[in-house]
Chains A and B, each alone.
Chain A
Amino acid sequence: MLESGLADLSPDGAAADGGRFVVTKDRLTRALCCPVHRNVDRFGQREFSLPLACGALVDVLFRQIVTVGAVGDPMGEALEGLGMGGRQTPLMAWIDGLPPADLAELRSEVDRQAHRLVERWPALEPAWLPRTQESVRASLVGGLVELSARVDLAVGRPAGDEATVAIVELKSGARRPGHRDDLRFYALIEALRNPAPPFTVATYYSRTGELDVMPVTHDGLVEAARRCVAGTRLLAGAATAVDDVTWCPSCAALPGRAPISGTTDRAAPAAVDLPVVRAA
């Protein structure tokens, strides 16, 4: 489905990405969102906000908790971690320039979520082979299209013959149906690059402690592939089926517009134990 759905893409539009279309979950989401808000630019607009900053900082703290199991000064240590590597320099500068009241609000929320993470997130058995911020990618159409993601947490033996990998995405904000599209995208990449797909993907909501677990199924992978084809074609400037477009709630409420399709599943979040993975 993926190969045939993308086989006619022209490489002409891929020059900005080094001769290939790099498809990420964010680019897919921007491409497939409501036509009013659609953005198929290479990187799109990224406006900093308190929720975005909070998400970035809590991501750093989650990584720290998974790796060393403790946090002392959440805000200070999250900023230290965010500053490593230089990729988040603009966001660091934005945080640095926040008015005192906004900075206090951000600090308060980061502290609150960090403490909840420390209290609720279990220590992972090293034999599960936990790794954080793992970069994963899969090539399609002879390398013309590259699906790319960085997963917050993966456990299980990488590139194994059996479905032993589980992927967890951390979200510091409110639960949204689109998060399941992200999970399916991760599952799709893992299924394409490995002999076996992951056995489960999940979103952990650090604000509430909810863990939304989604088993990886054939139908889910097909849905992800269909969405991936539609989004990639939009990114590449190629024709795509209108059925793959969804309206955001505010725009769908306008006269003459109604949700066409898109993910609407809202399974109840499940509090589950992380699965036991075979020891290394």
Chain B
Amino acid sequence: MSDRWQVATAGLLAPPLHDLVDGTVTRVRARLESGIADAMGPATGAPIDIGLPYLRRARYRPETLGLVDEAFAWKPAFVRRSLGLEVVRACAEGRFRAPAAAVGPVADHALDAWRRTGWRTFHWEPWFAGLGAGARSVVLAEAVTWATPLWATFDWPPLVASTIFGGSDDRWSSAAAGPVHLRGRVEARVHPSDARPSLVSVASGRPGDGWREELAYLALVAALAVPDGSVAARVVGLWPEAAVRLAVEIDEEALVGAADRVVDAVAVTADIRCAIPESDVA
């Protein structure tokens, strides 16, 4: 096992660097709600669904926020994450040695289960089933290429009992936040029984200068989404294209930074909405 592998894996299991004092989540929530209300101002329009990609667009490419999204159509890039996560899980459970061996059987199993039960675990099963061999191989190849860095960065088999790969997105909204809805999506949650969990996020490209707040945002939404307000110990981000792994330890300051980043994104959106006719807002 290489040093980097060991260090990365140990980092997921390390005790939290920061203890959180009572009321942290309550304070951050109040700051977030008041900040959103101020940032929205008189702006109106459709709900603002904020996720990590939206935060990044608001900071780095705000001009794209007012554009109408393309109509949804399945393509390999939309399948690779869910299929890739299932591939990593299958490998972590010891059913396959590596992603390249797992991807075909995992996809076949998903199709078999859908045909047998009608239940779409991944949603893409009917689309995938209708593809020819050439198109299908592209989907499988994309999933392998996506999954391999995640599989190779950590020593997953010892972690599998305490890890959830994928899972439901974290969601938060409140009356005070009005039309703003937050969504957080992580690739893995590693939750040792006696410690706060670590979250793992995989992103494309390279980290921008706001990477700390972006990672902390995932911990913020996860904390807001659960009634007891439990907070992750850290969020580890992988940017495979740049071969970068960064982590942010979560304390109140990190959560406040994430909340402020959300408020900034809302403010940018509100500015755009005030500048263009409501009927044209995406």
Q: Count residues of chain B with CB under 8 A from any CB of chain A.
A: 44
Chain A facing B: main interface SS? mixed
Q: Mark B124-154, 1 if CB is under 8 A from A, else 0.
A: 0000000111110111111011001101110
A209 contacts the other chain (CB 8 A): no
A157 and B98 alpha carbons, distance in the complex (Å):
11
The reply to whether B137 and A137 form a contact with Cβ atoms under 8 Å apart is: no
Partner of B96, one of A63, A126, A130: A126
11 A-B contacts, Cβ less than 8 Å apart? A63-B138, A63-B141, A78-B134, A80-B133, A129-B98, A129-B148, A129-B151, A131-B144, A132-B141, A134-B145, A143-B206
Which residues of chain B come closer than 8 Å to A194, judged between CB atoms? 243
CB distance from A162 to the nearest CB of B (A): 7
Q: Mark B207-244, 1 if CB is under 8 A from A, else 0.
A: 00000000000000000000000000000000011111
A280's nearest neighbour on chain B, judged by CB, is: B98
The reply to whether B152 and A158 form a contact with Cβ atoms under 8 Å apart is: yes
Which residues of chain B come closer than 8 Å to A85, judged between CB atoms? 75-77, 138
A81 contacts the other chain (CB 8 A): yes
Q: Mark A159-173, 1 if CB is under 8 A from B, else 0.
A: 111100000000000
A279's nearest neighbour on chain B, judged by CB, is: B97
Which residues of chain A come closer than 8 Å to B104, judged between CB atoms? 68
- 8 tightest A-B CB contacts, nearest first: A77-B134, A80-B134, A126-B101, A126-B100, A64-B137, A126-B98, A131-B145, A193-B243
> Do A77 and B97 form a contact, CB below 8 Å, given A63-B141, A161-B2?
no
B194 contacts the other chain (CB 8 A): no
The reply to whether B138 and A60 form a contact with Cβ atoms under 8 Å apart is: yes
Which residues of chain B come closer than 8 Å to A143, judged between CB atoms? 206
> Do A77 and B101 form a contact, CB below 8 Å, given A157-B152, A161-B2?
no
A133 contacts the other chain (CB 8 A): yes
Which residues of chain A come closer than 8 Å to B103, judged between CB atoms? 67
A124's nearest neighbour on chain B, judged by CB, is: B100
Partner of B139, one of A60, A84, A128, A130: A84
A131 and B87 alpha carbons, distance in the complex (Å):
14
B280 contacts the other chain (CB 8 A): no
Chain B CB within 10 Å — which of A18, A67, A128, A157 has the most?
A67
Which residues of chain A come closer than 8 Å to B144, judged between CB atoms? 67, 130-132
The reply to whether B206 and A137 form a contact with Cβ atoms under 8 Å apart is: yes
B61's nearest neighbour on chain A, judged by CB, is: A18
Q: Count residues of chain A with CB under 8 A from any CB of chain B.
A: 47
Which residues of chain B come closer than 8 Å to A124, judged between CB atoms? 100
Q: For chain A residues 37-93, which have a beta carbon within 8 Å of chain B?
A: 60, 63-64, 66-68, 71-72, 76-81, 83-86
B116 contacts the other chain (CB 8 A): no
B99 contacts the other chain (CB 8 A): yes
The reply to whether B153 and A159 form a contact with Cβ atoms under 8 Å apart is: yes
Which residues of chain B come closer than 8 Å to A128, judged between CB atoms? 98
Q: Mark B188-213, 1 if CB is under 8 A from A, else 0.
A: 00000000000000001110000000
Which residues of chain A come closer than 8 Å to B132, judged between CB atoms? 76-77, 80
Which residues of chain B come closer than 8 Å to A135, judged between CB atoms? 204, 241
The reply to whether A133 and B133 form a contact with Cβ atoms under 8 Å apart is: no
A135's nearest neighbour on chain B, judged by CB, is: B241
Chain A CB within 10 Å — which of B3, B77, B100, B205 has the most?
B100
> Do A139 and B152 form a contact, CB below 8 Å, given A60-B138, A68-B137, A86-B75?
no
Which residues of chain B come closer than 8 Å to A127, judged between CB atoms? 97-98
Q: For chain B residues 142-174, which have a beta carbon within 8 Å of chain A?
A: 142, 144-145, 148-149, 151-153
Additional A-B contact list (12), CB under 8 Å, known A63-B141, A68-B140? A68-B104, A77-B134, A80-B132, A80-B134, A126-B100, A126-B101, A127-B97, A129-B100, A130-B100, A139-B242, A158-B152, A193-B243
Q: Mark B88-119, 1 if CB is under 8 A from A, else 0.
A: 00000000111111011000000000000000
Which residues of chain A come closer than 8 Å to B244, judged between CB atoms? 193
Which residues of chain B come closer than 8 Å to A161, judged between CB atoms? 2-4
Which residues of chain A come closer than 8 Å to B5, judged between CB atoms? 160
Which residues of chain A come closer than 8 Å to B243, judged between CB atoms? 136, 158-159, 193-194
Which residues of chain B come closer than 8 Å to A139, judged between CB atoms? 206, 242
Partner of B97, one of A63, A71, A81, A280: A280
A138 contacts the other chain (CB 8 A): yes
Which residues of chain A come closer than 8 Å to B138, judged between CB atoms? 60, 63-64, 80-81, 84-85
The reply to whether B135 and A80 form a contact with Cβ atoms under 8 Å apart is: yes
A133 and B139 alpha carbons, distance in the complex (Å):
12
A11 contacts the other chain (CB 8 A): no
